Amino acid sequence: MTLPRTLDWRPEGPSVRLLDQTRLPVAIAFVDCLTVAELIDAIRRLVVRGAPALGAVGALGVALAIAESEREGWSPAHLADTIAALRSARPTAVNLAWGVDEVLPLLPAGLPAVLAGARRLIAADEAANRLLAERGTEWILDRVRGERVNVLTHCNTGSLATTAWGTALGIVRTLSTRGRLGLVYADETRPLLQGSRLTAWELAGEGIDYRIQVDGAAASTIARGLVDVAIIGADRIARNGDTANKIGSLAVALACADAGVPFIVAAPASTLDLTTATGDGITIEQRPEAEVLHWGDAVVAPPGARAFNPAFDVTPARLIDAIVTEVGVVEPRLIADVSAIAAATPARV
């Protein structure tokens, strides 16, 4: 199965075309964003999500802003404000702002230059994913016994969360390609079910054997010895290695630490945020209560019910065995500073 592209630039309009991830796996539909306001709305509604994908969308969004500005005759100040709004459309993932910042120096050179920069960033993301997947696979195969590795993962970190291949799910793909993958336990990832809707869809497309489980099952699946390694992605990694990722990641890390199962964070170096010292400095996005209280049109709680809906949690570095990036692997228990690998990050696009 060839997956449709998660995101793309369309010369008609022009627009940023997004595969609508809120509709999967029931429907394969696209959202064409002709304006930055539409793109921001799509980002907030999670039509597109996943830290590396948001980086690509940030870069393409700058190109879209230029096109819209030229069409509408915006002042430079209005263009700058619009780009700033795009840059902060979601607070936790660092990659969105990073993607904007990567192409912003090209703004004076005009739309074609920015677009070319965004395309280089997208190509670099796929290359980074494939490289970090190789590094992660090597790290795991050096440490896990057995012919086949059973993996637990949380949320979606595949092609849909990136531009192609994936981070944590990229490692799963590489293990599979090498014939070393066993069973994948995919946490469903409430409230928006990125695991059962998106990860399962990608795994099914690859012909990989998997089981969806409720998030609450992860700890006992790990404690019962059914898993050789847990691999998650990241939305922001602080300088000391503390990692913000989809809500529920911390529970996976705690179960792994208790059971002595390796817990790995896989992310491109663009996810490292050296300006944030520890996880305490990471803003956690609060999402609408309705995401927890409703299911489509169905209400699952009593009238007037309130919900607490943080979209992310922070796993402390002490619970992480390895942070795998395309430029290197850090074991935060040994080196509580990711600056070393960040310094090796390739130059700007």
Residues touching a copy of itself, count (CB under 8 A): 56
According to CB under 8 A, which one of 14, 170, 182, 191 is a site residue for a copy of itself? 191
Give 127 or 223: the residue with its C-beta nearer to a copy of itself. Answer: 223
Catalytic residue among 125, 228, 235, 273: 235
DSSP states of 87-133 as a string?
A: HTSSSS-SHHHHHHHHHGGGGGG-HHHHHHHHHHHHHHHHHHHHHHH
Task: Please check whether residue 289 is in contact with residue 269, taking contact to mean a CB–CB distance below 8 angstroms.
Answer: no
According to CB under 8 A, which one of 27, 77, 300, 334 is a site residue for a copy of itself? 300
Tell me how crowded residue 216 is: count the other CB atoms within 10 A of its CB.
12
Cβ neighbors of 315 (< 8 A, separation 6 or more) are 232, 242, 243, 245, 249, 250, 253, 263, 265, 279
Q: Is 280 annotated as catalytic? A: no
Closest CA to 86 of 16, 23, 19, 166: 16
Give 64 or 198: the residue with its C-beta nearer to a copy of itself. Answer: 198
According to CB under 8 A, which one of 28, 84, 204, 344 is a site residue for a copy of itself? 204
Using CB under 8 A as the binding rule, whether residue 26 contacts a copy of itself is answered as yes
Using CB under 8 A as the binding rule, whether residue 188 contacts a copy of itself is answered as yes
Min CB(267)–a copy of itself separation in Å: 19
Q: What does the alpha-carbon distance between residue 158 and residue 165 come to, in Å, rounded to a whole number? A: 6
Residues 215-254 that bind a copy of itself (CB under 8 A): 215-221, 223, 246-251, 254
Tell me how crowded residue 221 is: count the other CB atoms within 10 A of its CB.
20
Give 83 or 261: the residue with its C-beta nearer to a copy of itself. Answer: 261
Using CB under 8 A as the binding rule, whether residue 290 contacts a copy of itself is answered as no
3-state secondary structure 18-71: EECCCCCCCCCCEEEECCHHHHHHHHHCCCCCCHHHHHHHHHHHHHHHHHHHHH
Using CB under 8 A as the binding rule, whether residue 173 contacts a copy of itself is answered as no
| Beta pairing partners, 184 | 151, 210
According to CB under 8 A, which one of 76, 146, 260, 304 is a site residue for a copy of itself? 304
Q: What does the alpha-carbon distance between residue 227 and residue 211 come to, in Å, rounded to a whole number? A: 12
Give me the 121-160 binding string for a copy of itself, x by CB under 8 A, dash otherwise: ---------------------------------x------
Core vs surface per residue 69-102: b (16+ CB within 10 A) or e: beeeebeeeebeebbeebbebbbbbbbbbbbbbb
Using CB under 8 A as the binding rule, whether residue 328 contacts a copy of itself is answered as no
Using CB under 8 A as the binding rule, whether residue 298 contacts a copy of itself is answered as yes
Give 69 or 221: the residue with its C-beta nearer to a copy of itself. Answer: 221
Using CB under 8 A as the binding rule, whether residue 187 contacts a copy of itself is answered as yes
- Interacting residue ranges for a copy of itself, rule: CB under 8 A: 25-26, 154, 185, 187-191, 193, 196-197, 200-201, 204, 210-221, 223, 246-251, 254-255, 258, 292-293, 295-296, 298-310, 313-314
Catalytic positions are 235
